[in-house]
Structure 1
Amino acid sequence: MSSEAFFTLYSDLPRLGPGSDACTREALKRLTALPSAPRVVDLGCGTGRQTLVLAEALRTRILAVDLHRPYLDQLEREARARHLDALIETRQADMGALDLPAGSVDLLWSEGAIYHLGFGPGLRRWRPLLARGGQVAVTECTWLTDARPAEAVRFWAEGYPTMANIPENRSSAEAEGYEVVETFALPHSAWWDDYYSPLLERLERLRPSADAELREAFAAAEGETDLFRRHGDSYGYVFYLLRLREP
Protein backbone atom coordinates (compact mmCIF):
# COMPACT_ATOMS: atom_id res chain seq x y z
CA MET A 1 0.00 0.00 0.00
CA SER A 2 1.44 3.38 -1.00
CA SER A 3 1.64 6.16 1.59
CA GLU A 4 -0.55 8.35 -0.63
CA ALA A 5 -3.30 5.71 -0.76
CA PHE A 6 -3.03 5.20 3.01
CA PHE A 7 -3.40 8.90 3.79
CA THR A 8 -6.27 9.24 1.31
CA LEU A 9 -8.20 6.43 2.95
CA TYR A 10 -7.46 7.34 6.56
CA SER A 11 -7.74 11.13 6.38
CA ASP A 12 -10.57 12.82 8.27
CA LEU A 13 -11.42 9.74 10.34
CA PRO A 14 -12.29 10.24 14.03
CA ARG A 15 -9.37 7.96 14.96
CA LEU A 16 -6.46 6.34 13.16
CA GLY A 17 -6.59 3.20 15.29
CA PRO A 18 -8.58 1.46 18.03
CA GLY A 19 -9.43 3.60 21.05
CA SER A 20 -12.10 5.75 22.64
CA ASP A 21 -12.41 8.87 24.74
CA ALA A 22 -13.74 6.70 27.55
CA CYS A 23 -10.66 4.44 27.45
CA THR A 24 -8.34 7.45 27.51
CA ARG A 25 -10.15 8.83 30.56
CA GLU A 26 -10.12 5.41 32.23
CA ALA A 27 -6.37 5.13 31.75
CA LEU A 28 -5.87 8.60 33.22
CA LYS A 29 -7.98 7.62 36.22
CA ARG A 30 -5.90 4.51 36.88
CA LEU A 31 -2.52 6.26 36.89
CA THR A 32 -0.87 7.13 40.17
CA ALA A 33 -0.99 10.76 41.29
CA LEU A 34 0.48 13.31 38.89
CA PRO A 35 2.12 16.65 39.78
CA SER A 36 -0.28 19.61 39.95
CA ALA A 37 0.88 20.87 36.54
CA PRO A 38 2.28 17.78 34.81
CA ARG A 39 4.50 18.07 31.75
CA VAL A 40 2.77 15.85 29.19
CA VAL A 41 3.90 14.59 25.77
CA ASP A 42 1.66 12.63 23.38
CA LEU A 43 3.89 10.66 20.99
CA GLY A 44 2.63 9.50 17.60
CA CYS A 45 -0.48 11.53 18.31
CA GLY A 46 -1.98 11.28 14.81
CA THR A 47 -5.05 13.50 14.58
CA GLY A 48 -4.98 13.82 18.36
CA ARG A 49 -8.33 12.58 19.58
CA GLN A 50 -6.68 11.46 22.83
CA THR A 51 -4.65 14.70 22.98
CA LEU A 52 -7.88 16.67 23.22
CA VAL A 53 -9.15 14.42 26.02
CA LEU A 54 -5.89 14.86 27.94
CA ALA A 55 -6.03 18.64 27.59
CA GLU A 56 -9.64 18.76 28.76
CA ALA A 57 -9.00 16.47 31.73
CA LEU A 58 -5.63 17.76 32.93
CA ARG A 59 -5.92 21.46 31.98
CA THR A 60 -2.20 21.53 31.36
CA ARG A 61 -0.12 22.07 28.24
CA ILE A 62 0.28 19.00 26.02
CA LEU A 63 3.06 18.60 23.46
CA ALA A 64 1.64 16.50 20.59
CA VAL A 65 4.25 14.89 18.32
CA ASP A 66 3.71 13.25 14.93
CA LEU A 67 5.63 12.93 11.65
CA HIS A 68 2.64 13.67 9.38
CA ARG A 69 1.93 17.41 9.22
CA PRO A 70 -1.67 17.07 7.91
CA TYR A 71 -2.59 15.10 11.05
CA LEU A 72 -1.21 17.88 13.22
CA ASP A 73 -3.09 20.47 11.16
CA GLN A 74 -6.30 18.55 11.79
CA LEU A 75 -5.55 18.44 15.53
CA GLU A 76 -4.90 22.19 15.58
CA ARG A 77 -8.23 22.90 13.86
CA GLU A 78 -10.11 20.72 16.33
CA ALA A 79 -8.27 22.26 19.30
CA ARG A 80 -9.33 25.74 18.15
CA ALA A 81 -12.91 24.59 17.72
CA ARG A 82 -12.93 23.25 21.28
CA HIS A 83 -11.07 26.30 22.67
CA LEU A 84 -8.15 24.07 23.69
CA ASP A 85 -5.53 25.56 21.39
CA ALA A 86 -3.81 27.37 24.28
CA LEU A 87 -3.19 23.96 25.90
CA ILE A 88 -1.94 22.03 22.86
CA GLU A 89 1.39 22.53 21.10
CA THR A 90 2.07 20.42 18.01
CA ARG A 91 5.47 19.38 16.74
CA GLN A 92 6.34 17.53 13.54
CA ALA A 93 9.09 15.17 14.65
CA ASP A 94 10.22 11.56 14.89
CA MET A 95 8.90 10.13 18.16
CA GLY A 96 11.89 7.81 18.27
CA ALA A 97 14.46 10.59 18.11
CA LEU A 98 13.15 13.48 20.18
CA ASP A 99 15.39 16.35 21.20
CA LEU A 100 13.59 17.01 24.48
CA PRO A 101 15.75 17.52 27.58
CA ALA A 102 16.38 14.47 29.74
CA GLY A 103 14.01 14.23 32.72
CA SER A 104 11.61 16.81 31.31
CA VAL A 105 8.39 14.75 31.05
CA ASP A 106 6.01 13.73 33.85
CA LEU A 107 3.54 11.82 31.68
CA LEU A 108 4.34 10.23 28.35
CA TRP A 109 1.26 9.14 26.39
CA SER A 110 1.08 7.09 23.19
CA GLU A 111 -1.98 5.33 21.77
CA GLY A 112 -1.45 2.87 18.95
CA ALA A 113 1.99 4.11 17.94
CA ILE A 114 4.72 2.37 19.94
CA TYR A 115 4.63 -0.63 17.59
CA HIS A 116 6.55 1.49 15.06
CA LEU A 117 9.52 1.23 17.43
CA GLY A 118 8.69 -2.07 19.11
CA PHE A 119 7.31 -2.25 22.64
CA GLY A 120 10.54 -2.80 24.59
CA PRO A 121 12.77 -0.71 22.29
CA GLY A 122 10.26 2.15 22.35
CA LEU A 123 10.15 2.18 26.15
CA ARG A 124 13.94 2.11 26.20
CA ARG A 125 14.22 5.15 23.91
CA TRP A 126 11.63 7.13 25.85
CA ARG A 127 12.86 6.36 29.36
CA PRO A 128 15.52 9.15 29.50
CA LEU A 129 12.80 11.75 28.85
CA LEU A 130 10.97 10.93 32.08
CA ALA A 131 11.36 12.87 35.28
CA ARG A 132 11.74 11.06 38.59
CA GLY A 133 8.50 9.13 39.17
CA GLY A 134 7.41 9.81 35.58
CA GLN A 135 4.64 7.71 34.09
CA VAL A 136 3.89 6.17 30.71
CA ALA A 137 0.51 5.21 29.24
CA VAL A 138 0.64 3.30 25.96
CA THR A 139 -1.69 1.06 24.00
CA GLU A 140 -0.18 -1.92 22.25
CA CYS A 141 -1.68 -4.63 20.06
CA THR A 142 -1.39 -7.77 22.17
CA TRP A 143 -2.26 -11.45 22.09
CA LEU A 144 -5.04 -12.04 24.62
CA THR A 145 -5.10 -15.84 24.55
CA ASP A 146 -2.80 -18.77 23.88
CA ALA A 147 -5.52 -20.32 21.67
CA ARG A 148 -4.62 -18.33 18.57
CA PRO A 149 -6.49 -18.95 15.30
CA ALA A 150 -4.12 -19.84 12.48
CA GLU A 151 -5.52 -17.06 10.27
CA ALA A 152 -4.78 -14.44 12.94
CA VAL A 153 -1.30 -15.87 13.53
CA ARG A 154 -0.50 -15.63 9.80
CA PHE A 155 -1.80 -12.05 9.60
CA TRP A 156 0.17 -10.77 12.56
CA ALA A 157 3.29 -12.74 11.66
CA GLU A 158 3.43 -10.52 8.59
CA GLY A 159 2.00 -7.30 10.07
CA TYR A 160 3.63 -7.29 13.52
CA PRO A 161 5.86 -10.33 14.07
CA THR A 162 7.04 -9.22 17.52
CA MET A 163 3.50 -8.90 18.93
CA ALA A 164 3.51 -10.40 22.43
CA ASN A 165 1.05 -11.29 25.18
CA ILE A 166 0.43 -9.31 28.37
CA PRO A 167 2.90 -11.20 30.61
CA GLU A 168 5.63 -10.85 27.97
CA ASN A 169 5.02 -7.12 27.61
CA ARG A 170 4.98 -6.68 31.38
CA SER A 171 8.35 -8.41 31.54
CA SER A 172 9.69 -6.20 28.75
CA ALA A 173 8.56 -3.06 30.59
CA GLU A 174 10.14 -4.22 33.84
CA ALA A 175 13.38 -5.07 32.03
CA GLU A 176 13.49 -1.49 30.72
CA GLY A 177 13.24 0.01 34.21
CA TYR A 178 9.49 0.46 34.72
CA GLU A 179 6.98 -0.67 37.29
CA VAL A 180 3.69 -1.89 35.83
CA VAL A 181 0.90 0.05 37.55
CA GLU A 182 -1.93 -1.68 35.71
CA THR A 183 -3.06 -3.09 32.37
CA PHE A 184 -6.50 -3.33 30.77
CA ALA A 185 -7.75 -4.47 27.38
CA LEU A 186 -9.80 -2.12 25.23
CA PRO A 187 -13.37 -3.34 24.57
CA HIS A 188 -14.54 -4.31 21.07
CA SER A 189 -16.46 -1.03 20.87
CA ALA A 190 -13.10 0.80 20.88
CA TRP A 191 -12.33 -0.91 17.58
CA TRP A 192 -15.70 -0.40 15.90
CA ASP A 193 -17.29 2.86 17.03
CA ASP A 194 -14.66 5.45 16.07
CA TYR A 195 -12.31 3.38 13.91
CA TYR A 196 -13.52 0.44 11.81
CA SER A 197 -17.10 1.64 11.21
CA PRO A 198 -16.07 5.14 10.00
CA LEU A 199 -13.23 3.57 7.99
CA LEU A 200 -15.59 1.23 6.14
CA GLU A 201 -18.04 4.08 5.51
CA ARG A 202 -15.25 6.22 4.03
CA LEU A 203 -14.09 3.31 1.92
CA GLU A 204 -17.54 3.01 0.34
CA ARG A 205 -17.68 6.75 -0.39
CA LEU A 206 -14.30 6.60 -2.13
CA ARG A 207 -14.87 3.34 -4.01
CA PRO A 208 -16.49 4.77 -7.18
CA SER A 209 -13.45 6.92 -8.03
CA ALA A 210 -10.70 4.67 -6.62
CA ASP A 211 -7.57 3.89 -8.63
CA ALA A 212 -5.59 0.64 -8.39
CA GLU A 213 -3.49 1.76 -5.40
CA LEU A 214 -6.52 2.89 -3.46
CA ARG A 215 -8.33 -0.37 -4.23
CA GLU A 216 -5.32 -2.17 -2.78
CA ALA A 217 -5.70 -0.09 0.38
CA PHE A 218 -9.41 -0.97 0.46
CA ALA A 219 -8.61 -4.69 0.30
CA ALA A 220 -6.14 -4.42 3.17
CA ALA A 221 -8.60 -2.49 5.35
CA GLU A 222 -11.46 -4.88 4.62
CA GLY A 223 -9.24 -7.88 5.33
CA GLU A 224 -8.20 -6.42 8.67
CA THR A 225 -11.76 -5.66 9.75
CA ASP A 226 -12.97 -9.10 8.68
CA LEU A 227 -10.18 -10.71 10.67
CA PHE A 228 -11.14 -8.79 13.80
CA ARG A 229 -14.80 -9.64 13.30
CA ARG A 230 -13.94 -13.35 13.30
CA HIS A 231 -11.01 -13.53 15.71
CA GLY A 232 -11.05 -10.34 17.81
CA ASP A 233 -11.26 -12.32 21.03
CA SER A 234 -7.74 -13.64 20.48
CA TYR A 235 -5.98 -10.28 20.18
CA GLY A 236 -6.66 -6.63 20.96
CA TYR A 237 -5.23 -3.36 22.15
CA VAL A 238 -4.14 -3.22 25.77
CA PHE A 239 -3.40 -0.13 27.83
CA TYR A 240 -0.11 -0.48 29.71
CA LEU A 241 0.22 2.00 32.57
CA LEU A 242 3.81 2.24 33.75
CA ARG A 243 5.87 4.22 36.22
CA LEU A 244 9.61 4.84 36.13
CA ARG A 245 11.20 2.62 38.75
CA GLU A 246 13.04 4.43 41.52
CA PRO A 247 16.83 3.90 41.39
Structure 2
Amino acid sequence: MLNSCNYFSSDVPQPVATYWHNGYPAIGTEAENRVRAEHSGFEVLAVHRLPSQAWWDNYYSPLKENMVRYRDSDDETVQTVIKEIDEEMALFEMYSEFYGYSFYVLRAG
Protein backbone atom coordinates (compact mmCIF):
# COMPACT_ATOMS: atom_id res chain seq x y z
CA MET A 1 0.00 0.00 0.00
CA LEU A 2 1.10 3.53 -0.65
CA ASN A 3 -0.54 6.91 -0.41
CA SER A 4 -0.25 10.09 -2.36
CA CYS A 5 -1.70 13.56 -2.38
CA ASN A 6 -3.32 13.82 -5.79
CA TYR A 7 -6.02 15.37 -7.88
CA PHE A 8 -9.23 13.37 -8.11
CA SER A 9 -9.59 14.26 -11.80
CA SER A 10 -7.71 16.20 -14.46
CA ASP A 11 -10.24 19.05 -14.28
CA VAL A 12 -9.22 21.17 -11.29
CA PRO A 13 -9.92 24.86 -10.63
CA GLN A 14 -7.05 27.23 -11.36
CA PRO A 15 -6.43 28.19 -7.71
CA VAL A 16 -5.92 24.51 -6.88
CA ALA A 17 -3.63 23.91 -9.86
CA THR A 18 -1.56 27.00 -9.03
CA TYR A 19 -1.22 26.12 -5.35
CA TRP A 20 -0.12 22.55 -6.00
CA HIS A 21 2.13 23.46 -8.93
CA ASN A 22 4.03 25.74 -6.54
CA GLY A 23 3.99 23.36 -3.56
CA TYR A 24 4.18 19.92 -5.17
CA PRO A 25 4.92 20.15 -8.90
CA ALA A 26 4.91 16.35 -9.32
CA ILE A 27 1.28 16.02 -8.18
CA GLY A 28 -0.77 13.85 -10.50
CA THR A 29 -4.26 12.50 -10.76
CA GLU A 30 -5.47 9.22 -9.32
CA ALA A 31 -5.59 7.86 -12.87
CA GLU A 32 -1.99 8.93 -13.55
CA ASN A 33 -0.83 7.37 -10.30
CA ARG A 34 -2.62 4.14 -11.19
CA VAL A 35 -0.77 4.06 -14.53
CA ARG A 36 2.55 4.80 -12.78
CA ALA A 37 2.00 1.88 -10.43
CA GLU A 38 1.08 -0.45 -13.29
CA HIS A 39 4.11 0.63 -15.33
CA SER A 40 6.22 -0.13 -12.26
CA GLY A 41 4.99 -3.71 -12.25
CA PHE A 42 2.15 -3.50 -9.73
CA GLU A 43 -1.46 -4.51 -10.00
CA VAL A 44 -3.73 -1.87 -8.47
CA LEU A 45 -6.26 -3.76 -6.36
CA ALA A 46 -8.09 -0.74 -4.96
CA VAL A 47 -7.89 3.00 -4.49
CA HIS A 48 -9.38 4.58 -1.37
CA ARG A 49 -9.67 8.31 -0.73
CA LEU A 50 -9.09 9.79 2.69
CA PRO A 51 -12.40 11.56 3.44
CA SER A 52 -12.09 15.33 3.64
CA GLN A 53 -13.64 15.23 7.10
CA ALA A 54 -10.61 13.24 8.27
CA TRP A 55 -8.41 16.17 7.28
CA TRP A 56 -10.49 18.48 9.46
CA ASP A 57 -10.96 16.14 12.41
CA ASN A 58 -7.41 14.84 12.60
CA TYR A 59 -5.24 17.54 11.08
CA TYR A 60 -6.64 21.00 10.35
CA SER A 61 -8.80 21.50 13.46
CA PRO A 62 -6.06 20.49 15.94
CA LEU A 63 -3.55 22.53 13.95
CA LYS A 64 -5.83 25.56 13.99
CA GLU A 65 -6.24 25.25 17.77
CA ASN A 66 -2.48 25.05 18.27
CA MET A 67 -1.83 28.02 16.01
CA VAL A 68 -3.84 30.36 18.26
CA ARG A 69 -0.95 30.80 20.66
CA TYR A 70 1.38 31.88 17.83
CA ARG A 71 -0.87 34.33 15.99
CA ASP A 72 0.39 37.33 17.98
CA SER A 73 4.04 36.43 17.55
CA ASP A 74 6.41 39.15 16.37
CA ASP A 75 8.53 36.56 14.59
CA GLU A 76 8.29 37.12 10.84
CA THR A 77 8.94 33.46 10.06
CA VAL A 78 6.14 32.36 12.38
CA GLN A 79 3.76 34.81 10.70
CA THR A 80 4.76 33.53 7.26
CA VAL A 81 4.06 29.94 8.30
CA ILE A 82 0.70 30.89 9.82
CA LYS A 83 -0.27 32.72 6.63
CA GLU A 84 0.67 29.72 4.49
CA ILE A 85 -1.30 27.33 6.70
CA ASP A 86 -4.33 29.63 6.66
CA GLU A 87 -4.16 29.73 2.85
CA GLU A 88 -3.88 25.94 2.67
CA MET A 89 -6.89 25.45 4.95
CA ALA A 90 -8.98 27.99 3.03
CA LEU A 91 -8.14 26.29 -0.26
CA PHE A 92 -9.04 22.88 1.11
CA GLU A 93 -12.29 24.20 2.56
CA MET A 94 -13.30 25.55 -0.85
CA TYR A 95 -11.95 22.81 -3.12
CA SER A 96 -11.58 19.55 -1.18
CA GLU A 97 -13.67 17.69 -3.75
CA PHE A 98 -10.85 18.19 -6.28
CA TYR A 99 -7.82 16.89 -4.37
CA GLY A 100 -6.72 14.97 -1.32
CA TYR A 101 -4.94 11.81 -0.25
CA SER A 102 -5.58 8.50 -1.92
CA PHE A 103 -4.38 5.12 -0.72
CA TYR A 104 -3.40 2.62 -3.39
CA VAL A 105 -3.62 -1.07 -2.53
CA LEU A 106 -1.04 -2.78 -4.75
CA ARG A 107 0.17 -6.26 -5.49
CA ALA A 108 3.48 -7.02 -7.16
CA GLY A 109 2.77 -8.21 -10.69
TM-score after normalising by structure 1: 0.43
- Equivalent AA in structure 2 for residue 215 of structure 1: Q
**How many Å separate the matches in 2 of 1:176 and 1:218?**
38
> Deviation at 1:205?
1.7
CA deviation digits over 1:2-43, x for unaligned, max 9? xxxxxxxxxxxxxxxxxxxxxxxxxxxxxxxxxxxxxxxxxx
Q: 2:9–2:30: 8 Å Cα contact kept in structure 1?
A: no
- Equivalent AA in structure 1 for residue 48 of structure 2: F
**How many Å separate the matches in 2 of 1:192 and 1:181?**
28
- Aligned partner of 1:191 among 31, 55, 63: 55
Structure 2's unaligned 5+ residue stretches are none
RMSD: 1.2
Answer with 1 or 2: which has the greater Rg.
Answer: 1
**Which residue number corresponds to residue 112 of structure 1?**
none
SS in structure 1 at match of 2:5: strand
SS in structure 2 at match of 1:183: strand
Where does 1:1-247 land on structure 2 (aligned, <5 Å)? 137-245=1-109
Q: 2:7–2:100: 8 Å Cα contact kept in structure 1?
A: yes
> Deviation at 1:143?
0.7
**How many Å separate the matches in 1 of 2:55 and 2:29?**
19
* Alignment length (residue pairs): 109
SS in structure 1 at match of 2:97: coil
- Equivalent AA in structure 2 for residue 222 of structure 1: D
CA deviation digits over 1:145-199, x for unaligned, max 9? 2331110010011111111111111110111111111101111111100100111
**Structure 1 segments of 4+ aligned residues over 3 angstroms from their partners:** none
**How many Å separate the matches in 2 of 1:182 and 1:210?**
48
Structure 1's unaligned 5+ residue stretches are 1-136
**How many Å separate the matches in 1 of 2:74 and 2:61?**
19
> Deviation at 1:210?
4.8
**How many Å separate the matches in 1 of 2:63 and 2:89?**
10
Q: Which has the higher contact order (CA 8 A, sep 6+)?
A: 2
